[in-house]
Amino acid sequence: MSGAFRTMAWQGDALLLLDQRVLPGVESMRRCTDPSSVADAIRTMVVRGAPAIGVSAAFGLVLAVRCAWKKGRPWRRAFDEAATELAGTRPTAVNLFWAIDRMRREAAALPDDPAAAFSRLEESAVALFEEDVAANRAMGAHGAKLLPAHGSVLTHCNAGALATAGYGTALGVIRSAVASGKRIHVYVDETRPFLQGARLTAWELMKDGIPCTLITDTMAASLFAAGKIAAAVVGADRVAANGDVANKIGTYGVAVLCRAHKVPFYVAAPVSTIDRKLPTGKRIPIEERDPSEVTHVMGKRMAPDGVHVYNPAFDVTPARLVSAIVTEKGVLKPPLANALQKLFR
Ligand code: MRU
């Protein structure tokens, strides 16, 4: 929550989502009044970022119950159908499935009365929203201590207020460091192909007055070589039980650069991003997105028609390259498998 904008807002009968596809040029809210419109918003990247899609899906389920209630239909079936639709939107960020499962568990204990079910599920979704902001603030406080008193850090993609219910994970750490008096400058990877860095992270940081410099992804290595990067901080879409981290495509390259240049590589992620069921990152499903994201930039074709395209949206950074994972419960240090096990004990 930078205070300057809202990623999402619950209105009791609708979920408002800041349309991230048209930022930074246009600030417009998309109004979702049924679960399918929330699913569509997640699929088409109106809302994106692991925690933000989890919280949005929770409100999508509340809307499913509300729609059934208003039409005089039994709410449980509508809830289950919406859960299936929302779970099919994006495969990599585990927060989506975590939020749906949590709402499912709450729903199982509720009465058949739709008004009562609606109000209890609404409370649960609002709690999920508030817990996410609180987790980000806590991560910020823990992670700020890791950053230098004065120096430049690199971030990749957008793990800010836009990617969460507010404040951000990686950007939350940076925000807290700046708020504590540290003089941090941020190098922002543009993050091809969807340009989350250029369009979203640069926008967020500038709104907060945090000094930043935008670079193309190809420029990061030369900055490391010149000794200009003191640390990298990124978010995560899924963390496996051994500490392997799935995040935006290109994150693995940043981690390799950090290791080659003896610079710490930090991951900021709430506990809801940890998937204890997956022993390693090898089985994390990696979303492949439309080739047009690679062949086109902002709607303009840049590559020959018909060219073969590979467009994975995420990659997996092995645990051995991760210097620490910052969670709301504290900072996990290697060996990460042990630290993660301890966290859940
Ligand atoms: O495809 P996106 O924009 O949803 O990918 C987002 C990321 O990879 C973020 O770094 C991640 O979700 C962490 S957000 C706090």
Residues 75-129 pLDDT 10s: 999 999 999 999 999 999 999 999 999 999 999 999 999 999 999 999 999 999 9
CA of 21 to the centre of ligand 1 (A): 14
Beta strands 212-215; 183-189: pairing state: parallel
Q: Which two tokens stand for residue 3?
A: 């205070």
Beta-bridge partner residues of 331: 326
Report DSSP letters for 310-340, one per residue: --BSEEEE-GGG-SEEEETTEEE-SSHHHHH
* Contact of 4 with 51, CB cutoff 8 Å: no
User: Coil, strand, or helix at residue 201?
Assistant: helix
Active-site position among 237, 244, 275, 315? 237
Q: How many CB atoms lie within 10 A of CB 221?
A: 16
Ligand 1 centroid to Cα of residue 112, in Å, is 37
pLDDT at 2 over 60: no
pTM above 0.95, yes or no: yes
> How much is the average pLDDT of 170-188?
98
Section 207-225 average pLDDT: 98
Residue 155 bridge partners (DSSP): 188
Ligand 1 pocket, mutate which of 199, 200, 248 (most atoms under 8 A from CB): 248
pLDDT for the residue numbered 182: 98
Domains observed in the chain: 8-137 (1.20.120.420), 140-343 (3.40.50.10470)
Beta bridge partners of 296: 301
Residue 1's pLDDT is 44
| Ligand 1 environment, Cβ below 6 A | 48-51, 93, 157, 159, 163-164, 169, 196, 235-237, 247-248, 313
Q: Is 40 a catalytic residue?
A: no
